[in-house]
Amino acid sequence: MRLIKKRRMWGGSRGGDIAIFILLALVGIFMLFPIYFSIIQSIKPVEELFLFPPKLYVQRPTMQSFEDMLKVAGGMDVPFSRYVFNSVFVSVVVTVAQLLFASSAAYVLAKVKAPGVRAMNKIIEVALLFTSSVTYIVQYIVMAKMGLIDTYFALTLPYIATPMGLFLMKQFMGQIPESMIEAAKLDGASHLRICWQIVMPNVKPAWLTLMIFAFQGAWQITGYLFVYSEQLKPIPIVMQQIAASGLARAGVSYATVVVLMLPPMILFLILQSNVVETMAHSGLKD
């Protein structure tokens, strides 16, 4: 009986199961192809980079592109370790701040009955439609008025609050049973304690997913509009400068892409099971 139910869930027949598997495999290959192509291009010698039609494999793999990238980075006025520190510092600060602010605000919007909450939820939904580039001019004006241009604050403050993170946390906190919240209030727990000691452990998959998305976005921060000092620049903008030297550094360009995508990929691989749990999470029931 259980086997019959399982077969009905996945398509109703062996042919349906095979079709679904093939479709998912094709989608997976399509999504992995850019990563594979970047890695292959980064280990190709120069003469193989410009073959036409381009080959999807490498005949004589080499690490010369990575060596050239390190040589160029090592020849800069500022040590390369400084750029690494800037990116790691900004990524950690933005990720932690997003988690704190999104979780706190989501608890209020999901579990605190206050005037204006419904209107605020609508504003958040509308904010999801806008890209970050729409607010660049406003952000620059605000930063300039506050005297934060060319500081670490310019690299972190504009990114610590995102509508996507707030919406994600609010949706999952909304599934927490009200009876659990009321029981905690009867025991004398404050809203702060309820949020961090009761609600947060029950939405662990959600905030781990938010952590992945926040780190991925923070790692790609360039800050080219707000930061001009070489000592404050993060890795992405420095890598862009290294790669922007024409065809002579085509291999270096692919090497920089591989270096930049490694940290988010490693974090995702570590926490991927929680991401899957988040997508399949059905919520708590009374």
Domain boundaries, the chain: 79-247+259-280
How high is the pLDDT of residue 3? 45
User: In the predicted model, what is the mean pLDDT of residues 157-175?
Assistant: 84
Is pLDDT at 94 greater than 50 in this prediction? Answer: yes
Is pLDDT at 10 greater than 70 in this prediction? Answer: no
How high is the pLDDT of residue 187? 80
How high is the pLDDT of residue 193? 85
How high is the pLDDT of residue 227? 84
More confident residue, 6 or 124: 124
Per residue in 17-73, pLDDT tens?
788 888 888 888 888 888 888 888 888 887 777 777 777 777 788 887 787 777 777
User: In the predicted model, what is the mean pLDDT of residues 86-90?
Assistant: 89
Share of the chain above pLDDT 70, in %: 86
Distance, CA of 67 to CA of 49 (rounded, Å): 16
More confident residue, 129 or 7: 129
Distance, CA of 214 to CA of 222 (rounded, Å): 15
**Cα–Cα distance list, 15 to 27, 50, 199 (Å):** 18, 43, 43
284: helix, coil or strand? coil
- Using pLDDT thresholds of 50, 70 and 90, give the confidence band for residue 85: confident
Distance, CA of 162 to CA of 154 (rounded, Å): 16
What is the 3 state secondary structure string of 216-256?
A: HHHHCCCCCCCCCCHHHCCHHHHHHHHHCCHHHHHHHHHHH
How high is the pLDDT of residue 167? 86
Per residue in 231-250, pLDDT tens?
888 888 877 777 666 555 67
Is pLDDT at 9 greater than 70 in this prediction? Answer: no
Sign of the C-alpha dihedral computed for residues 222, 163, 109 and 202 taken in this order = negative
Q: How buried is residue 89: exposed, middle or buried, by Cβ count under 10 Å (0-12/13-18/19+)?
A: middle
How high is the pLDDT of residue 276? 63
How high is the pLDDT of residue 42? 81
How high is the pLDDT of residue 1? 44
**Check whether domain 79-247+259-280 has CATH 3.30.70.1520, yes or no:** no
Distance, CA of 4 to CA of 15 (rounded, Å): 15
Distance, CA of 140 to CA of 158 (rounded, Å): 10
Average predicted confidence (pLDDT) for the chain: 79
How high is the pLDDT of residue 93? 92
Is pLDDT at 114 greater than 80 in this prediction? Answer: no
Per residue in 254-276, pLDDT tens?
787 788 888 888 888 877 766 66
How high is the pLDDT of residue 245? 63
User: In the predicted model, what is the mean pLDDT of residues 139-159?
Assistant: 86
Distance, CA of 61 to CA of 42 (rounded, Å): 9
Distance of CA 279 to the CA centre of its chain: 16
Per residue in 97-111, pLDDT tens?
999 998 888 888 888
More confident residue, 32 or 278: 32
For the whole model, what pTM was predicted?
0.77
